[in-house]
Structure 1
């Protein structure tokens, strides 16, 4: 009998062909085994770090086009499904051979559920989605819970979580109570924020053991990317911010622990089965008897890589000379049917040097342009921060970026304080990257080029995708916007799809300001303000099609052949979901 217990999980992460990855956290060392009723199986020994124990199991031998219940064993003891559990069994869905369609659900910004939060929030959209999916399973859609079954249309192919999966700097009453016991009056660390790796684990334990969320994560494959609150509000908003944060005595442990825990809980599961063994961090972690020092050094190194790159640029080195060898990359790419999803790191790898300010360093941007070059029907770019904001706010952020770089200290200081107070740090505040992304979309969507070199990336010219969608969160409201490129050729339709929050709330006074950001008059005034600072007109125009919606929400992006449609669903007071927007993206 195993002495270990299942603390978190199982979390179904990737399903690729006949294989799937299942992540767990256990209370002690164990051999983790996952089996299905039709003979598919996989096992892995746990690895240990900071007195916590984890495993990522690759399940092999799955049949295509099936939804199959699975079980989890620690050593020889079955620990999942739990005895007398009230939820349907957890299941793995494999896609039918040759299936080109895709169904993605997405959203961001989820505080822990009502019983654990200090504020009374509207119902959790992910809880509501989980309950609806359970009801579909119990009703036989997409299949009965008793065994393998044909896959149906109700089952998502992938859940894309776009940041702020946990809040390290806005903790719940439960976590704050724990922190008070750990801090003394002279402790040099924030009293109500997590700092150590062990404290980070409490955030995930609190969030992912929510019963409905636990079941949903065990059934629907998921990929994730961080935003600022996984570390701290305004993370890497500017070079002065980075300098000031590194002067805090507790910051080195905070950033190393935050990045290490993100790798364990979120990023590790983003990897495909073939990528896991090739990941240099994973190889070191599983080889170590205690991987604490491996992960601590890894977290510190990743932050140092970003800081060192900016420092080298400041010393006059070229971007190529400043790039450290083997720099770790959080961005990733995957295909679902004939949909290409590329998820970008909008936080950790930012270039903050004033002369080279960009969302991604050149090497990672080159990787991105390579990933979007290929043969597929739909391109989806996952970005925790919206590319297209309300126009008035966009111009304000572009103005602020320019003024914050002023050679006049008083003016630059005022702009820096305003940047942090109003969170002016989206793509619009990295205009070099904003414009470059627009150019990528134009080149991708303008049709096959005469020569391969005319296209994004290298290799043969491919037909344009039927749709390009940017999925984002962060801003605590949801909307659909359509981009247009004046003066250019007819292009593939490009949309900004923003869904936020899953479970949070924007302050009431902010709502009128966000609505005003879409109005013509305030937008024109903000554009003139930006022009007065020397900001050129953006290469793209856009207009809002749906929203803004300020409640908790979850969205579904559906691709069927060359057609694309997005649906935004918000939570009603009774905890159910209701449609607040539905929009064809290819009509």
Structure 2
């Protein structure tokens, strides 16, 4: 009995934590005396162990036992012990967070790996091993493109091509260089998270995650036209089911606190299932993907309270509403939930809003996206040309959903207004654009909080040649005045 992946330390509170693992067979998994049975998805086995009885403001080393046998740490590990560091009164005023997006795995091919450059998370993990635990970050925020389902490594493409050619005729209609099935997603996660340094840092830093397009497919939910075109592909239903189901298993579940897990109907059904729970996850994925009355059937946005700081993570990909002539980054019900999380900030010194897509872009680029949304919404040739430009140039960030952009900006401006119990800072953390920057928001009126857009991307990927001059131009004063 062994671990195939993990442990991944996820939500951590003052006295509780959750630890995610994938095992090679059905088993009972134990962490610090707390146990959970695995659940099965298409022959794969997972557990999210709820750890309780922890002491606030402590760092507790832990092991993972599978059916009584110690499987973590590995016997020959050179890394420090994995620990669970709880929050409490002594650390309530302190928060150190690292974040980023777009981490492509190592390929093993020298030329391609040289093009990709250094893996920032891998390097940070190595650096962390030499620091005392007290200097470690309090949380790791992964803001999208944790896996690349549509841009595979050469080895993965070769393996997938063999599966396609050896499969049934129906499988040959699937793209030869993109994953489609749940089992293929399993391979992606194992390759991406299986690197020793990555595996260790995920085991010891509380990690929050949200997806972006490459976790499913490039330009995912860019527009109603994009969605209609992809829905016409015979393999897409299998792909979106596998992508959303695997996201729920590998990423979303750990974003929830033990209390939220106890009240989550989908999770409780999975735990109660006898044998393979894939039918439950296929239904869940269909519900998450479908628009009903202007909203999606599942909310992936979530909230973490981190002492006197609050993280509100916003799903700016799957939550999009595109049918029936509407165009919203989030449905009204989910947006109202986000607004509710920032409506009462008493006792919150620092508000963090996570979104895989930047809220604030370089002024010129933001303006281009606003204009393009208008153009793409027109009838006839101009509309088709606008849509082609939108998809080709990835004009799909918050300004490209202008009504939602205004609503988010209004929410942030209201949260930042001067008041005795208001936050000192509001930070919007994002990735996606393969360009890192810090931008201060100016609302044109007095503000009680400093508001910044902070972007870190990519963690490990190459920067296309056009990105640097485009962003340099976008930040320039002449371009902003156009």
TM-score by length of 1: 0.78
| CA distance 1:267–1:340, shift in 2 (3 Å) | same
| CA distance in 1: counterparts of 2:416 and 2:259, whole angstroms | 31
The structural deviation recorded for 1:430 is: 0.6
| CA distance in 1: counterparts of 2:148 and 2:467, whole angstroms | 21
More divergent stretch after superposition (17-26 vs 81-90): 81-90
Q: For 2:278, which of 281, 289, 292 is the aligned residue?
A: 292
| Alignment partner, residue 78 of structure 1 | 70
| Alignment partner, residue 398 of structure 1 | 370
| Alignment partner, residue 28 of structure 1 | 25
| Alignment partner, residue 441 of structure 2 | 483
- Aligned partner of residue 183 in structure 1, secondary structure: helix
| Alignment partner, residue 519 of structure 1 | 476
| CA distance in 2: counterparts of 1:367 and 1:472, whole angstroms | 20
| Alignment partner, residue 415 of structure 2 | 444
Q: Please list, as runs of the form range in 1=range in 2, the aligned pairs for 1:165-204 lying within 5 A after superposition.
A: 165-184=146-165, 187-204=172-189
Q: For 1:509, which of 466, 472, 477 is the aligned residue?
A: 466
- Aligned partner of residue 89 in structure 1, secondary structure: coil
| CA distance in 2: counterparts of 1:116 and 1:302, whole angstroms | 37
- Does residue 335 (structure 1) correspond to residue 327 (structure 2)? The answer is no
- Does residue 466 (structure 1) correspond to residue 424 (structure 2)? The answer is yes
Q: For 2:287, which of 298, 301, 325 is the aligned residue?
A: 301
Q: Please list, as runs of the form range in 1=range in 2, the aligned pairs for 1:57-96 lying within 5 A after superposition.
A: 57-96=49-88
- Aligned partner of residue 296 in structure 1, secondary structure: helix
The structural deviation recorded for 1:516 is: 0.5
- Does residue 349 (structure 1) correspond to residue 353 (structure 2)? The answer is no
The structural deviation recorded for 1:500 is: 0.4
Deviations 1:404-450 (A, max 9, x none): 0012x1000001010011000000101111111111122222224xx
| CA distance in 2: counterparts of 1:116 and 1:14, whole angstroms | 35
For the pair shown, the structure with the greater C-alpha radius of gyration is: 1
The structural deviation recorded for 1:96 is: 3.8
- Aligned partner of residue 427 in structure 2, secondary structure: strand
| Alignment partner, residue 242 of structure 1 | 227
Q: For 1:103, which of 80, 96, 111 is the aligned residue?
A: 96
Q: Greater helix share, 1 or 2?
A: 2
Q: For 2:353, which of 363, 377, 381 is the aligned residue?
A: 381
| Alignment partner, residue 155 of structure 1 | 136
| CA distance 1:43–1:399, shift in 2 (3 Å) | same
| CA distance in 1: counterparts of 2:373 and 2:479, whole angstroms | 19
| Alignment partner, residue 122 of structure 1 | 117
CA contact (8 A) 2:17 2:50 kept: yes
CA contact (8 A) 1:100 1:338 kept: yes
| CA distance in 2: counterparts of 1:57 and 1:125, whole angstroms | 29
- Aligned partner of residue 411 in structure 1, secondary structure: helix
| CA distance in 2: counterparts of 1:70 and 1:97, whole angstroms | 23
The structural deviation recorded for 1:323 is: 4.5
CA contact (8 A) 1:116 1:174 kept: no
| CA distance in 1: counterparts of 2:324 and 2:193, whole angstroms | 39
| Alignment partner, residue 400 of structure 2 | 429
| CA distance in 2: counterparts of 1:228 and 1:463, whole angstroms | 37
| CA distance in 1: counterparts of 2:423 and 2:325, whole angstroms | 34
Across the aligned residues of Structure 1 and Structure 2, the Cα RMSD in angstroms comes to 1.5
CA contact (8 A) 2:423 2:448 kept: no
| CA distance in 2: counterparts of 1:85 and 1:491, whole angstroms | 48
For structure 2, the residue ranges without an aligned partner over 5 or more in a row are none
| Alignment partner, residue 260 of structure 1 | 245
TM-score by length of 2: 0.95
CA contact (8 A) 1:354 1:405 kept: no
| CA distance in 2: counterparts of 1:126 and 1:256, whole angstroms | 29
Aligned residue-pair number: 472
| CA distance in 1: counterparts of 2:294 and 2:56, whole angstroms | 46
| CA distance 1:322–1:352, shift in 2 (3 Å) | closer
- Aligned partner of residue 63 in structure 2, secondary structure: strand
CA contact (8 A) 2:241 2:285 kept: yes
| CA distance in 2: counterparts of 1:189 and 1:25, whole angstroms | 27
| Alignment partner, residue 577 of structure 1 | none
CA contact (8 A) 1:111 1:167 kept: yes
CA contact (8 A) 1:116 1:172 kept: no
| CA distance 1:524–1:368, shift in 2 (3 Å) | same
For structure 1, the residue ranges without an aligned partner over 5 or more in a row are 36-40, 143-151, 310-320, 449-461, 526-587
CA contact (8 A) 2:87 2:306 kept: no
Deviations 1:373-410 (A, max 9, x none): 22111111000000011111101110100000012x10
| Alignment partner, residue 42 of structure 1 | 34
The structural deviation recorded for 1:510 is: 2.5
CA contact (8 A) 1:236 1:348 kept: yes
| CA distance in 1: counterparts of 2:183 and 2:100, whole angstroms | 27
More divergent stretch after superposition (238-247 vs 111-120): 111-120
Deviations 1:101-129 (A, max 9, x none): 21111100000025268452111000111
The structural deviation recorded for 1:353 is: 4.1
| CA distance 1:114–1:171, shift in 2 (3 Å) | closer
| Alignment partner, residue 105 of structure 2 | 112
